[in-house]
Structure 1
């Protein structure tokens, strides 16, 4: 009888120690809290890139997770202590296979936390509220004055001397401008650039331009030869839409990105070599709310 009582007491002691250890293990697990993103205007990036959220804690970025699906709201679990002390939320565009633990230069949204939420916007890319633009229809890379309605150049020749036709803010690192002519519903690039007063990046290598040279030292394109499948060059840009977009760099998409600060549909009777004023584009800023 004494032996049975001893075994029973020993068993209770083991059970008590085991429960205590379980409680200690649970209490030592890191505590997490929900971070909810409710963002508007983002577009899917394709297979090679993802969006990644970051909180700034004591001046250093801490990843909150990646996503490629752009339906919202979207919730992530983040260490509670870090989330509570975070000052800012930032959203960047990252390679899908990313060996760099730091945020890429291509940051698209940011905002400071005030109590439990942060209102984020894309002003860290640039503020496009004062963006303006002018272009002409012309084909300066061919040898004559035919097919002038088949080229678009972002310059202003209203004074008789060509000057830059685009008034655009300087972009933050990781971003470039790109011009587009939307022909029969399909956007075809005029090239990328960062300085509206200089030729775009493909000035010397464009497959579409004529044989006379690179054209004026401003962004633009002559659509004269080597048309993509389904198109015929020369073309007629009257009645078509001209767009300036803001693109992440690097960028593997053949379509314009979501930020489009300037846009203009060319009148069907527009004169060539004559300045055409651009209007505000459909997306000049992105916004959203991040809640902790």
Structure 2
């Protein structure tokens, strides 16, 4: 009987020690809470992913999507407590939905340093500072060699000194981002092309289907809407009364519409003359910001 009791006691002790060991190995977690507005729906191919920077290295905090109303699919994330406690920075990036790369993509949209238990995050420091952005443009159609539809093209250049000079003053973007020009006609945005250098032609200058057949136009961003109009439109057209917009787009970009960041915009006057320089004003969104709490 004594042997049986001793055996039971030994088993109980081992069981107790085993349970304690399991408890000791259970990681302690904390919640990371995001309070961010102004993000947009990325569609099915991309998601947002949060990262905390620990000893200079990124640690993922999880992914989420955003619906058409700007609501986050998830705003609270469980993170290993020790990792979160020593994190110095929070970064939000745009990633492919089926991403096999463990590192953040170049398309980082928000970032901010932790101060205590919170971090104020903004797009200004990591995408670009658009507080001093300015823009000028003219109406003209230089790619068709004709002078009878000059209000069917827009070029982001300045003619106030006589010859054409750079019309846009914009910061150099971080890797993973490009500028894109747009004309919004009857509520529909139609691209003028993407670009990274305001003093050069945009990326599709030679390949656009819209331009005329004579040449590619001046060495600045812009577009002639001469042929191959989208459904519901007729080219050549008249851009007076439309809205000119400069947006900041993720690269790569899977959307045919302007991204949230739109630092410059201007309503083209209904009585605008061609080859006259017009100044753009502030766009609807120059910055996205929010707060992250650990």
In the superposition, the TM-score normalised over structure 1's length comes to: 0.96
Query: Matched residue of 2:175: which SS?
Result: coil
Q: Please name the residue that 1:261 is paired with.
A: 263
Q: Please name the residue that 1:211 is paired with.
A: 213
Q: Please name the residue that 1:93 is paired with.
A: 94
Q: Please name the residue that 1:56 is paired with.
A: 53
- 1:288 paired to 2:285: no
Q: Please name the residue that 1:111 is paired with.
A: 112
Judge which range, 255-264 or 226-235, deviates more: 226-235
Distance, in Å, in 2 between the alignment partners of 1:254 and 1:247 is 10
Structure 1 residues 116-265: aligned runs within 5 Å: 116-123=117-124, 124-265=126-267
Distance, in Å, in 1 between the alignment partners of 2:8 and 2:216 is 89
Structure 1 residues 59-98: aligned runs within 5 Å: 59-69=56-66, 70-72=70-72, 74-98=75-99
Distance, in Å, in 2 between the alignment partners of 1:253 and 1:78 is 32
Structure 2: 5+ residue runs without aligned partners?
none
Query: Matched residue of 1:17: which SS?
Result: helix
Distance, in Å, in 2 between the alignment partners of 1:131 and 1:222 is 24
Distance, in Å, in 2 between the alignment partners of 1:191 and 1:97 is 28
Structure 1: 5+ residue runs without aligned partners?
none
Q: Runs ≥4 in structure 1, deviation > 4 angstroms?
A: none
Distance, in Å, in 2 between the alignment partners of 1:284 and 1:191 is 20
Distance, in Å, in 1 between the alignment partners of 2:3 and 2:76 is 53
Distance, in Å, in 2 between the alignment partners of 1:134 and 1:83 is 46
Distance, in Å, in 2 between the alignment partners of 1:22 and 1:263 is 64
Shift of 1:8: 4.7
Deviations 1:79-106 (CA, angstroms, capped at 9, x unpaired) = 1111000000011111112121111111
Shift of 1:26: 1.6
Q: Please name the residue that 1:39 is paired with.
A: 36
Judge which range, 115-124 or 19-28, deviates more: 19-28
Query: Matched residue of 1:41: which SS?
Result: coil
Distance, in Å, in 2 between the alignment partners of 1:19 and 1:153 is 77
Shift of 1:152: 0.5
Distance, in Å, in 2 between the alignment partners of 1:273 and 1:236 is 14
Q: CA RMSD in A?
A: 1.3
Shift of 1:9: 5.1
Judge which range, 48-57 or 71-80, deviates more: 71-80
Judge which range, 66-75 or 112-121, deviates more: 66-75
**Which residue among 30, 38, 45 is the counterpart of 2:27?**
30
Q: Please name the residue that 2:7 is paired with.
A: 10
